[in-house]
């Protein structure tokens, strides 16, 4: 449809309001007679609460309530619910065992298990009054030993939970251990590498906010990716029917998993609002966010790769310790387990066995974060393949090419239960090497050496499985001369209004400004899974495709009447109803003002989609300081059919920024006593624009067969590929020093010390 066709770089419809300060975030919604809440948090990583006295706090001016663990037993919400169970993929032996899931009360009862755990909620007329009251609460703690290091946690010297004396919450196996053992028995070479996937913070621009109202039913306003999921969980915790809970989420200032799950503050403000009979607002500050937001990653993984004498992969064995924190968060089992199939990568590896142990530590819980396990797996895999090439004297490119899945192999069932259905992996790799001018790299390396610098070339080749495992719904309404999309997904910066409107414009020939968009209100949208797993365009867009087809079907009788033709002779083509065999046409846009129809569709895919690509990084290191400068970053990727290259590029660049942040600078650090040492932006380093070069992108698409648009999903590729690409490049640059591996983040000090140790 001309300017609204696939592949057109349409600017975002959302940006005008956001750039003018006219966005509407959770803290912009103001209600009469609001009270303010402050959460008093534990200063200790592990301690018994010997006594708690709030008498003095309650006497202070403006204080309305001090809620503690004792009050929960009277009329409080139930514990936080872990929503995810261990999966049993088709290729899982032995089957999953039981999961130890100790309950997390919304306020600590008798014991605290991480710095920042909520102990009391104070509600007052003003935030200042609530903070003064928090200071007046008298608490005596009996401090207990804390467990922070996963390797020490499994020794069992200090148990966080009596039901888990070894601090192991679960042990999960994926793949075929016997076939993998047999593959290793006949290997000519086994490469082994242990890698750390460092704990990081979501660090959203907008901190978490919760506004609770009770007027016979509960209404929560908060920034989230999954309003319907939050609603369902709250209903169970509050012991009411789902219809008694409404969740509203408007503009969201960043999330990528951080605001995916339920937090205790969601339930606390609703509980307090019912008790007090007035709205209650809680707003996190930045320091509070570092201590109480769910963290991400935090894995210790050993990978073994078995190869024959020619370098062909025979088997892969993976053993992971995954830090869960003190409690299993609502989606805390997703990242370490559900995305383990990513270990198949782009390679023909006949046998794979993955073992994952979830470990309790005296830290804040981990949950999903952009990629939700795929970045962790792909980092470990791509670092191991690179290390294996160097150990055996092979070129990393040649070793990968020898083992790449070929188009003739597709469709392919992987050893971990996926079914790859599209892609041309070798073509992607060849294009990446050509675009990166790999053949002339030695000359650039020599030029760097003349200037006293070290230069490295690295890449990561990946295949993700995304946009599957759940379904999504969408509705399209035509009324009052306007089309409006009602989406079950929930944007947190991706441009959903733009791409949903774009799809409607493509099919119906309407102008973008004629297409409205509604999301994030569980009273207005019947159901929805929400946003995650690069699935919004694939699943939500495909649901909208079905809704559009339904609208066309319902509008056809009226179109036939206008065209003075039998309905059976009327077809729909390129935005218009046409009478078959004639030139008589009625554009849908001419019919809109007289229509009142709606279409709803629920889409469940027949398979995941498999976006795949090769990311290339070229770095330069100053040997005197260890400082790393990224000279070039290139992405060659198969994202399937591209709807809007501007939105796609934004997703790629943002993901790479997050991935490079983890690779080079971001890391949450706890002391041995469980005290948070990176509790502010003075201590926790986030990437800035000056840290990155321009990012080049080349599309190398194959359509996805599992959805009507042929799209594959792009949201998580950057943060999955950037860490291994950059670390591989740095290790390549450090070859003169004999450095085999460095764990992220690769800070200048760490790189400099590695060179000094080699000297």
pLDDT at position 508 is 95
Q: Would you say residue 96 has pLDDT above 70? A: no
pLDDT at position 94 is 67
91, 416 in Cβ contact below 8 A? yes
pLDDT at position 513 is 86
Two tokens at 690?
A: 């000056």
Q: Where are the domains of the chain?
A: 395-467+608-758, 470-603
Two tokens at 475?
A: 């509705």
Q: Is domain 470-603 in CATH 3.40.640.10, yes or no?
A: no
pLDDT at position 89 is 61
For 545, half-sphere exposure in the C-beta direction (CA atoms, 13 angstrom radius) is 16
* Mean pLDDT of the region 139-167: 91
C-alpha span between 655 and 725 (Å, rounded): 13
Whole-structure pTM value: 0.95
Edge to edge, what strands does the sheet with 570-573 contain? 570-573, 576-579, 585-587
Report DSSP letters for 591-659, one per residue: HGGG--EEEEEEE--SS-B--EEEEEEEEEE-TTT--EEEEEEEEEEE-BS-S-HHHHHHHHHHHHHHH
C-alpha span between 586 and 558 (Å, rounded): 11
539, 605 in Cβ contact below 8 A? yes
C-alpha span between 613 and 725 (Å, rounded): 12
* Mean pLDDT of the region 561-569: 93
Q: Would you say residue 93 has pLDDT above 80? A: no
Give residues with Cβ within 8 angstroms of 256, minimum separation 6. 202, 204, 369, 370, 492, 658, 715
Q: 195 forms bridges with which residues in the sheet?
A: 301
Q: Would you say residue 5 has pLDDT above 90? A: no
Q: How many CB atoms lie within 10 A of CB 434?
A: 12
pLDDT at position 151 is 87
pLDDT at position 634 is 98
Q: What 3-state DSSP class applies to 38?
A: strand
Burial 550-582 (b: 16+ CB within 10 A, else e): bbbeebbebbbeebebeeeebebeebbbbbeee
The mean pLDDT of the chain is 94
29, 250 in Cβ contact below 8 A? yes
Edge to edge, what strands does the sheet with 695-699 contain? 454-463, 612-621, 628-638, 695-699
User: 730: closest CA among 622, 588, 592?
Assistant: 622
pLDDT tens, 376-401? 999 999 999 999 999 999 999 999 99
Would you tell me the crossing angle of helices 396-403 and 374-391 to the nearest 10 degrees? Answer: 120
User: 265: closest CA among 123, 83, 473, 432?
Assistant: 123
Work out the pLDDT band at 243, boundaries 50, 70, 90: very high
Two tokens at 616?
A: 């290339």
C-alpha span between 267 and 269 (Å, rounded): 6
Q: Would you say residue 91 has pLDDT above 80? A: no
Q: What 3-state DSSP class applies to 273?
A: helix
Q: Would you say residue 509 has pLDDT above 70? A: yes
CATH of segment(s) 395-467+608-758: 3.30.365.10
Give residues with Cβ within 8 angstroms of 86, minimum separation 6. 96, 99, 170, 172, 333, 337
Q: Would you say residue 339 has pLDDT above 90? A: no
pLDDT at position 274 is 98
User: 280: closest CA among 67, 34, 65?
Assistant: 34
C-alpha span between 41 and 703 (Å, rounded): 50
pLDDT tens, 114-136? 999 999 999 999 999 999 999 99
112 phi and psi angles, rounded to 5 deg? -115, 150
Q: 320 forms bridges with which residues in the sheet?
A: 301, 356
662, 198 in Cβ contact below 8 A? yes
For 27, half-sphere exposure in the C-beta direction (CA atoms, 13 angstrom radius) is 10
50 phi and psi angles, rounded to 5 deg? -75, -40
Instruction: Give the strand pairing for 515-518 and 482-487.
Output: parallel
Distances (CA, A) of 591 to 414, 416, 476, 516, 546: 49, 51, 15, 17, 20
Instruction: Give the strand pairing for 218-222 and 209-214.
Output: antiparallel
**Sign of the torsion angle spanned by Cα atoms 256, 260, 261, 263:** positive
Work out the pLDDT band at 98, boundaries 50, 70, 90: confident
> What percent of the chain shows pLDDT beyond 90?
90
Give residues with Cβ within 8 angstroms of 685, minimum separation 6. 665, 666
User: 730: closest CA among 711, 744, 714, 712?
Assistant: 744
Asked whether the domain spanning 470-603 has the same topology as the one spanning 395-467+608-758, the reply is yes
C-alpha span between 24 and 107 (Å, rounded): 30
User: 1: closest CA among 476, 502, 699?
Assistant: 502
Two tokens at 209?
A: 């906010």
pLDDT tens, 652-693? 999 999 999 999 999 999 999 999 999 999 999 999 988 988
C-alpha span between 685 and 296 (Å, rounded): 15
pLDDT at position 99 is 86
Two tokens at 208?
A: 């978490």
């Amino acid at each position: 449809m001309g300017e609204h066709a696939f592949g057109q770089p349409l600017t975002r419809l959302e940006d005008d309001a956001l750039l003018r300060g006219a966005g509407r975030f959770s803290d912009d919604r103001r209600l009469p007679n609001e009270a303010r809440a402050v959460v008093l948090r534990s200063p200790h990583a592990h301690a018994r609460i010997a006594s708690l006295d709030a008498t003095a706090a309650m006497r202070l001016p403006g204080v309305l309530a001090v809620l503690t663990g004792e009050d929960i037993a009277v009329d409080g919400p139930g514990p936080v619910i872990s929503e995810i169970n261990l999966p049993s993929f088709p290729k899982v032996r032995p089957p999953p065992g039981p999961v130890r899931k100790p309950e997390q009360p919304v306020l600590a009862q008798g014991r605290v298990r991480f710095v920042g755990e909520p102990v009391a909620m104070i509600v007052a007329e003003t935030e200042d009054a609530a903070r003064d009251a928090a200071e007046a609460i008298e608490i005596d703690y009996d401090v207990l030993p804390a467990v922070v290091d996963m390797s020490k946690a499994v020794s069992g010297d200090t148990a966080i939970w009596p039901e888990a004396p070894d601090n192991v919450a679960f042990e999960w196996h994926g793949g075929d251990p016997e076939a993998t053992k047999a593959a290793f028995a006949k290997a000519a070479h086994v490469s082994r590498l242990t890698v750390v996937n460092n704990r990081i913070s979501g660090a959203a621009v907008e901190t978490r906010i919760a506004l609770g109202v009770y007027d016979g039913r509960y209404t929560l306003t908060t920034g989230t990716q999954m309003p319907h999921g939050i609603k369902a969980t709250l209903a169970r915790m509050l012991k009411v029917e789902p219809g008694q809970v409404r969740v509203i989420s408007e503009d969201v200032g960043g999330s990528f998993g951080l605001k995916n799950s339920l937090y205790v503050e969601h339930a606390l403000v609703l509980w307090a609002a019912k008790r007090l009979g007035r709205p209650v607002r809680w707003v996190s500050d930045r320091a509070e966010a570092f201590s109480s937001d769910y963290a991400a990653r935090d894995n210790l993984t050993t990978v073994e790769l078995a190869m024959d004498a020619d370098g062909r992969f025979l088997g892969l064995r993976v053993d992971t310790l995954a830090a869960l924190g003190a409690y299993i968060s609502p989606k805390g089992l997703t990242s370490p387990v559900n995305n383990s199939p990513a270990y198949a990568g782009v390679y023909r590896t006949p046998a794979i066995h993955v073992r994952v142990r979830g470990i309790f530590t005296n830290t804040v819980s981990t949950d999903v974060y952009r990629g939700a396990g795929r970045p962790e797996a792909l980092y470990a895999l791509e670092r191991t393949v690179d290390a294996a090439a160097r150990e055996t004297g092979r070129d990393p490119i040649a070793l990968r090419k020898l083992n790449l899945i070929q188009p003739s192999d597709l469709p392919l069932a992987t050893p971990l239960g996926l079914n790859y259905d599209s892609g041309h992996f070798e073509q992607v790799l060849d294009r990446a090497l050509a675009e990166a001018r790999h053949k002339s790299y030695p000359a650039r390396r020599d030029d760097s050496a003349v200037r006293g610098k070290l230069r490295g070339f690295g890449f990561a080749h990946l295949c993700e499985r995304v946009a599957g495992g759940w379904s999504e719904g969408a509705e399209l309404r035509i009324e009052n001369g306007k089309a409006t999309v009602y989406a079950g997904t929930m944007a947190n910066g991706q441009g959903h209004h733009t791409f949903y409107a774009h799809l409607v414009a493509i099919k119906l020939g309407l102008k973008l400004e004629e297409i409205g968009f509604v999301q994030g209100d569980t009273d207005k949208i019947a159901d929805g899974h929400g946003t995650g797993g690069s699935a919004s365009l694939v699943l939500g867009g495909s649901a909208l495709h079905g809704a559009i087809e339904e609208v066309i079907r319902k509008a056809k009788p009226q179109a036939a009447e206008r065209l003075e033709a039998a309905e059976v002779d009327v077809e729909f083509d390129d935005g218009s109803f046409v009478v078959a065999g004639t030139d008589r046409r009625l554009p849908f846009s001419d019919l809109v003002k007289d229509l009142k129809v709606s279409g709803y569709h629920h889409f469940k895919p027949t398979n995941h989609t498999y976006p795949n690509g090769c990311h290339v990084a070229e770095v330069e290191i100053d040997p005197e300081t260890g400082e790393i400068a990224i000279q070039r970053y290139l992405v060659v990727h198969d994202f399937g059919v591209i709807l809007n290259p501007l939105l796609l590029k934004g997703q790629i660049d943002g993901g790479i920024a997050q991935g490079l942040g983890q690779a080079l600078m971001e890391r949450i650090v706890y002391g041995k006593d469980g005290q948070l040492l990176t509790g502010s932006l003075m201590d926790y380093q986030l990437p800035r624009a000056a840290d990155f070069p321009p990012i080049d992108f080349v599309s190398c698409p194959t359509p996805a067969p599992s959805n009507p648009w042929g799209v594959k999903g792009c949201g998580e590729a950057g943060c999955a590929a950037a860490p291994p690409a950059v670390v591989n490049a740095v290790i390549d640059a450090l070859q003169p020093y004999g450095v085999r591996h460095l764990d992220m983040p690769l800070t200048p000090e760490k790189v400099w010390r590695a060179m000094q140790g080699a000297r």
